[in-house]
Chain A
């Protein structure tokens, strides 16, 4: 089945740099050999149909017409051996711990700023820094309750962190739905393998959320706050509310009275104690943030500051997952935890600093330049892949506003065998494990493997035509 498969010199998740399956993948490869391309294609089509029927979709808009698309699903799983995973797991937990310590510090005594570990203006001048959080303790010192860490593997086979998502990371629903779909569509591929399960995510999340309930509340009412059906991640909001068995509310369903939050039920107002919000800080409370927000709840921050309601993630976490602050995370790990980072960063140059800017401008044609305030892969310029004209345009933008950019060497992302048309071809992948933190941290085994479906493309974002794969932690 994989005869003729050529990794093109990249690290292959199935074969590494060899031309045969890595030990952990031997059994998967053997089983895959039993399938013809036609059979794979047939099952893949059935899976797509099932996703449409189930409405496992994300929503894209054009001309105000609603379009539900499914995240394209590739049927060949990506395998990570158990031992390798355990290192990754420890690495992302360590990172989340450092980010939480950092947030506790900058919203508290600001030691790291005084000690010169990170420039104060980078933190206090950051658009995501929320002064409202200053000196406000949060339960267990946890600010980032759900974190999605974007991890890539380069040509050398080493994992590196590319980005932290500590606000409202998306994608975990696909991890679970992909697995369920694999189990239904490929029972013959899945059976009897020691794949670590993922279906308890909702339960783990609900447990963590219960742990941050206000003091004295034994049986907290948790709700999931969504911007509503027009949000691109609405399916995920539905999924999580369903998995946890909690109400999926919108701002209009909530109200604040006497600094307490209530939801409007058929029987009148019912108290709410914990809000898993999938709404950005800006929109949370029109009294405090954007006054034009129709999605938030007036008075929510008053209730939050009084400790009558818990928010996950906490307000103001954006300052820790900022692409500029990202560069300092290894130093923050050493500073707060007195540990060496278990997973390295991708080498990063900060254009707000003269040497970073010079380095970047001198080598733009070989670097990836990223705006720090964007997400979803927008505005990213891949030096080696763009035309001279595009490069010149990017150079202008960068020179005009250097503080808005970082640059990184182009990571030659690892590839994974992927069903493309009538052949199995290598396609670039990344990995987003999800860490859930209440009193302590737990990582969903595996995470979202995103795959760039266009040949040669390095951009895996769903909004840019990426797809996903089931991710198996084996053994």
Chain B
């Protein structure tokens, strides 16, 4: 029978989510930087605030939407609970709580990463050094994942780790795609232009999927359909939505199987239904309707799964 404390499961889940979120946020900022070099500056940075639904929180802290302000808000501002710095602080706090559970290596690396980012001033990261900052974060978070893979004991806690990581990744990959599709709608005339191709390129690279995409589509030009399909529905690419949902679902199955108890049934059923609905998704239809509606649906399903996990396993209301 499972002896994992509910509070610890909660912490493992969120430690994974926060590091994954810091990693994705670094990717989003990085790729957005690539877009704004091409064209519209301010409007591009605004779009990130829109996708994360952070306009109000941002407006409380900053007067104007500018590249520097948005970068500061998401990279280093301790007042923003969703900034990279805040995410890493929360990941580290969760790790601290579950230190008896995780490997010393996992703890030390996360603690060191946090200690590296903590002293940064809000103005330390600007558009000039954003790329190297993003690289530090990405490498730090990937190292965390690697160490976890190599050292974390594979009991229930591991499945909660995967569950948190994959649900967050599903959410983040969707947002990354969302950023690009909003660009598309805003400037449809550019489709197929040299600029546009380089943007698809950047998007795939931000999701660490450029090589993978090229292996799947060796010669074709990048179309919105093929890129969207790849990032949403390719089951073999580890950062695609479908792949994340499959892995989250597998983690839930393992938990249900291993804990041998009745908990988690609603979360499992819900995620399974979402999984099969994804398989029925037709990219052409989605694009014809506009991505917005589909993205909203995906977000709702993911949030609902997360809520059910919290209710059923962590004892949260």
A contact set with B: CB distance below 8 Å = 52-55, 221, 229, 238, 241-242, 245-250, 252-253, 263-268, 270
| B256-273 interface with A by 8 A CB criterion | 259-261, 263
**A266–B96 contact, CB under 8 A?**
no
Contact stretch, chosen from B4-12, B55-63, B284-292: B4-12
**B6–A270 contact, CB under 8 A?**
no
Assembly CA distance A268 to B112 (angstroms): 35
B81 within 8 A of A: no
16 sampled A-B residue pairs with Cβ under 8 A:
A53-B111, A53-B115, A54-B104, A54-B111, A238-B100, A242-B99, A245-B100, A263-B3, A264-B6, A264-B7, A266-B2, A266-B4, A266-B9, A266-B156, A266-B160, A267-B4
B1 within 8 A of A: yes
Assembly CA distance A267 to B160 (angstroms): 13
Assembly CA distance A246 to B3 (angstroms): 10
Complex contacts, A238 vs chain B, CB 8 Å = 96, 99-100
| B75-118 interface with A by 8 A CB criterion | 93, 96-97, 99-100, 104, 107-108, 111-112, 115
Complex contacts, A54 vs chain B, CB 8 Å = 104, 107-108, 111
**B261–A268 contact, CB under 8 A?**
yes
- Asked if A267 meets B100 with Cβ closer than 8 Å, knowing A52-B115, A53-B108, A253-B7, the reply is no
Min Cβ gap B258→A in Å is: 9
**B5–A264 contact, CB under 8 A?**
yes
- Asked if A267 meets B260 with Cβ closer than 8 Å, knowing A238-B100, A242-B100, the reply is yes
Which of these, B2, B112, B115, B260, contacts A265 with CB under 8 Å? Answer: B2
Assembly CA distance A57 to B57 (angstroms): 35
B contact set with A: CB distance below 8 Å = 1-9, 93, 96-97, 99-100, 104, 107-108, 111-112, 115, 156, 160, 255, 259-261, 263, 313-315
List the 8 closest A-B pairs by CB distance, nearest first: A267-B2, A241-B100, A242-B100, A267-B261, A238-B99, A267-B259, A266-B313, A266-B9
**B263–A266 contact, CB under 8 A?**
yes
Closest to A264 in B: B6
- Asked if A229 meets B97 with Cβ closer than 8 Å, knowing A253-B6, A266-B6, A270-B3, the reply is yes
Assembly CA distance A248 to B5 (angstroms): 9
Which of these, B100, B259, B261, contacts A248 with CB under 8 Å? Answer: B100
**B259–A266 contact, CB under 8 A?**
yes
Complex contacts, A52 vs chain B, CB 8 Å = 115
Min Cβ gap B152→A in Å is: 14
**B100–A221 contact, CB under 8 A?**
no
Complex contacts, A264 vs chain B, CB 8 Å = 5-7, 315
Complex contacts, B315 vs chain A, CB 8 Å = 264
- Asked if A268 meets B263 with Cβ closer than 8 Å, knowing A54-B111, A55-B107, the reply is yes
**A247–B8 contact, CB under 8 A?**
yes
**B4–A55 contact, CB under 8 A?**
no
Complex contacts, A249 vs chain B, CB 8 Å = 5
**A53–B112 contact, CB under 8 A?**
yes
**B263–A267 contact, CB under 8 A?**
yes
**B2–A263 contact, CB under 8 A?**
no
Min Cβ gap B280→A in Å is: 32
Complex contacts, A221 vs chain B, CB 8 Å = 3
Assembly CA distance A123 to B261 (angstroms): 50
Complex contacts, A270 vs chain B, CB 8 Å = 1-3
Min Cβ gap B11→A in Å is: 11
Assembly CA distance A420 to B100 (angstroms): 34
- Asked if A229 meets B96 with Cβ closer than 8 Å, knowing A52-B115, A266-B156, A268-B263, the reply is yes
Assembly CA distance A221 to B299 (angstroms): 41
**B5–A263 contact, CB under 8 A?**
yes
Complex contacts, B263 vs chain A, CB 8 Å = 266-268
Complex contacts, A266 vs chain B, CB 8 Å = 2, 4-6, 9, 156, 160, 255, 259, 263, 313-314
Inter-chain pairs besides A263-B5, A266-B4, A266-B156, 18 sampled, C-beta below 8 Å: A53-B115, A54-B111, A55-B96, A55-B99, A55-B108, A55-B111, A221-B3, A238-B96, A242-B100, A247-B5, A248-B100, A249-B5, A264-B7, A265-B1, A266-B9, A266-B160, A268-B261, A270-B3
Complex contacts, B261 vs chain A, CB 8 Å = 267-268
Assembly CA distance A368 to B115 (angstroms): 42
Min Cβ gap A189→B in Å is: 23
Complex contacts, B97 vs chain A, CB 8 Å = 229
Complex contacts, B107 vs chain A, CB 8 Å = 54-55
Closest to B259 in A: A267
Complex contacts, B156 vs chain A, CB 8 Å = 266
Assembly CA distance A270 to B8 (angstroms): 14
Complex contacts, B7 vs chain A, CB 8 Å = 250, 252-253, 264
- Max chain B C-beta neighbours (<10 A), residue from A53, A245, A263, A265: A265
Min Cβ gap B101→A in Å is: 8
**B1–A267 contact, CB under 8 A?**
yes
Complex contacts, A242 vs chain B, CB 8 Å = 99-100
**A265–B96 contact, CB under 8 A?**
no
Assembly CA distance A53 to B114 (angstroms): 10
Min Cβ gap B104→A in Å is: 7
